[in-house]
């Protein structure tokens, strides 16, 4: 499997999961065959406001590489600004945008699967990202907002 010009060793990918995919868990999954891991979702607002605890979610080490970071938010400009910060800070292979989280805490802020109600905003998010970051961009998405 090839992603962003990198040949991955296999086809097992660890999906981003809130409160699960911390560095220790990602390293264990790497050890047992995951070719690519993802951080748990990281708030774009928290990144642009410099929240130190938020940056711990993106912490990595050479043993984990390649890895991806997942961002969530609702504002295209904020998501792009956060992606630029994380791109420079962590050098991920890929930046994933969360369009799948159904949690009321996330969707009530217009993030996660709530973005599926606004295809124009989703289009703007990806257009801005593709114009401004050099890291490949993907999306974790749901078929239906509530499932």
Residues annotated catalytic, as ranges:
101
Query: CA 134, 136, 137, 139: dihedral to nearest 10 degrees?
Result: -170
Report the C-alpha gap between 17 and 119 in whole angstroms.
24
Asked whether the beta carbons of 115 and 99 are under 8 A apart, the reply is yes
Structure tokens at 10: 């296999």
Structure tokens at 147: 């499932």
């Amino acid at each position: 499997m090839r992603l962003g010009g990198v040949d991955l060793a296999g086809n097992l990918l660890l999906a981003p999961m809130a409160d699960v995919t911390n560095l220790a868990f990602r390293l264990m999954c790497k050890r047992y065959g995951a070719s690519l891991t993802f951080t748990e979702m990281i708030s774009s607002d928290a990144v642009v406001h410099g929240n130190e605890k938020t940056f711990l979610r993106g912490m990595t080490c050479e043993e984990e590489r390649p890895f991806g970071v997942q961002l969530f938010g609702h504002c295209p400009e904020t998501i792009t600004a956060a992606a630029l910060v994380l791109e420079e800070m962590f050098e991920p292979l890929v930046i994933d945008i969360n369009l799948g989280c159904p949690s009321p805490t996330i969707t009530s802020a217009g993030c996660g699967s709530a973005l599926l109600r606004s295809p124009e905003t989703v289009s703007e998010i990806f257009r801005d990202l593709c114009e401004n970051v050099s890291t490949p961009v993907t999306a974790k998405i749901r078929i239906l907002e509530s499932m």
